[in-house]
Structure 1
Amino acid sequence: MTVVVQLLLCLWCVVVVAVAAESSSPVAGERQRQQQLWVFGDSYADTGNLGNLGRELTHAWYDPYGRTFPRHPTGRFSDGRVLTDFVECPYTPLAN
């Protein structure tokens, strides 16, 4: 497939998922509490799941990682909050 066809196919899939999500949403004016935020780690979402393999396999559990937020190593290679942390903030009022 050419690049253009691949991009159009990807765009079509995004539109289908968006329409399906909108059609399954609750009645207008009714809010539903979100139970989960699924994030698949990439350069914008450092989920810190590498630590599940064992702390000895990664340096992310030791200083200097996580020194600025939340002031101790978190298993993430980022030093602080990432994009997905800001996305989930409005949905977790106790963490704010």
Structure 2
Amino acid sequence: MDSLIKVFFCLSVFLLLGEINGVEGSDKNQRMYGFRPTKLFVFGDSYADTGNIKKSLSSSWRFPYGITFPGKPAGRFSDGRVSTDFLGNSSL
């Protein structure tokens, strides 16, 4: 139990320091070099429903998929935005 607490504490400190340093470094690079990403490439995995499937092979092109976002079936099995949609909207 004691070792579990030590691991949790070390992980918490590591994540906290990484977050503080990462935010500062990112802002500094944008100001210095004027770099701002314009594209986000996402290769489908469990966190990204890219919708790259043929209409004839999938039921995701029919109702009820996509009724929340984008408002019509789009070949995606998710009903709404996924994590990469939010990431792309916030950083681009």
TM-score by length of 2: 0.60
Greater RCO, CA 8 A, separation 6+ = 2
Q: Shift of the alpha carbon at 1:28?
A: 5.5
For residue 88 of structure 2, what is the amino acid of its counterpart? E
> Please, which runs of 5 or more residues in structure 2 have no aligned partner?
1-24
For residue 84 of structure 1, what is the amino acid of its counterpart? T
1:32 aligns to 2:44 (yes or no): no
The aligned residue for residue 45 of structure 2 is 42
For residue 38 of structure 2, what is the amino acid of its counterpart? Q
Stretches of 4+ aligned residues off by more than 4 angstroms: none
CA contact (8 A) 2:66 2:76 kept: yes
SS of 1:49's equivalent in the other structure is coil
Larger radius of gyration: 2
Work out the CA distance in 1 between the residues paired with 2:79 and 2:38: 27
For residue 42 of structure 1, what is the amino acid of its counterpart? D
SS of 1:38's equivalent in the other structure is coil
SS of 2:64's equivalent in the other structure is coil
Work out the CA distance in 2 between the residues paired with 1:27 and 1:47: 29
CA contact (8 A) 2:30 2:36 kept: no
Q: Shift of the alpha carbon at 1:40?
A: 1.3
Identical-residue share of aligned pairs (%): 51
CA contact (8 A) 2:66 2:73 kept: yes
CA deviation vs aligned residue, 1:34-69 (integer Å, no higher than 9, x gap): 23211111111001111xxx3111111110000111
> Please, which runs of 5 or more residues in structure 1 have no aligned partner?
1-21
How many residues in Structure 1 have an aligned counterpart in Structure 2? Answer: 65
For residue 72 of structure 1, what is the amino acid of its counterpart? K
